[in-house]
Amino acid sequence: MTRQQRADFILHRLEQLYPETLIPLDHKDPYTLLIAVLLSAQCTDLRVNQITPALFALADNPNDMMRQSVASVREIIKPCGLSPRKSVAIVELSRILVEQHDGQVPANFPDLEALPGVGHKTASVVMAQAFGVPAFPVDTHIHRLAKRWKLSKATNVEQTERDLKKIFPREQWNKLHLQIIFAGREHCTARGCNGHTCLLCSELASLA
């Protein structure tokens, strides 16, 4: 089976398994999504969703957030981990949004990636889920599964992203990246599958 044939099978199978892809991070607008995605670095979506109600009760927009002390933000987000760095980034990026972007989250990669604490993966999630721009955010789940499913031999997420963009239709990227994440959490876990035992891996093996 060629790499493209594997990709086509996976695309079809994931659509069967996950026809609906609700964004796992609770949010109400691009700003709250941006903050939630920033918090999700090295933290589970479940934990982020437990923390953001208190954070957004304190401030749910850049104007209010920039006026908060870093210490007060850090106290709320401490359970997420990396709270010293994340709290500084949240307050500072809020100030930049107000001063440079009229309080709006920019809908382009250069401006998003220039914000404190916002890397390419975070920017990709915001572009895809807040603005509907085709993007393929690659997290550890996707990087791991792309290698396990023999879709990419890349050793870093940047090359994995490039590889996946070549073999999957552009119009499917925004939905597909969530479908792969869901599959990685539910079926093809890091420790629960050796590349042959889970639903998708066993099906791929039978077609090889």
Contact 118, 108 (CB under 8 A): no
CA–CA separation, 147 vs 162, rounded Å?
13
- 32-69: pLDDT as tens digits: 999 999 999 889 999 999 999 999 999 999 999 999 99
Domains of the chain, each with CATH number or no CATH: 3-22+136-207 (1.10.1670.10), 30-131 (1.10.340.30)
- 137-146: pLDDT as tens digits: 998 889 999 9
Pick from 106, 104, 180: which is nearest to 136 by CA? 180
DSSP letter (8 states) at residue 80 = G
Contact 35, 59 (CB under 8 A): no
Residue 80's Cα: distance from chain center in Å? 16
Percent share of the chain, pLDDT over 90:
81
Point out the catalytic residue in the list 45, 139, 147, 150.
139
CA–CA separation, 101 vs 109, rounded Å?
14
Band of pLDDT at residue 200, cut at 50, 70 and 90:
confident
CA–CA separation, 48 vs 202, rounded Å?
33
User: Is residue 118 packed enough to be buried (19+ CB in 10 Å), middle (13-18) or exposed (0-12)?
Assistant: buried
- 93-111: pLDDT as tens digits: 999 999 999 999 999 999 9
Provide the Cα torsion 23, 135, 13, 18; round to 10°: 10
Task: Identify the three-state secondary structure at position 157.
Answer: helix
- What count of other Cβ atoms lies within 10 Å of the Cβ of residue 13? 16
pLDDT of residue 197: 83
Active site residue 78: no
Active site residue 139: yes
- What count of other Cβ atoms lies within 10 Å of the Cβ of residue 197? 12
Tokens 């981990």 found at? 81
φ/ψ (deg, to 5) at 19: -65, -25
pTM here is 0.91
* Mean pLDDT for the stretch of residues 150-158: 93
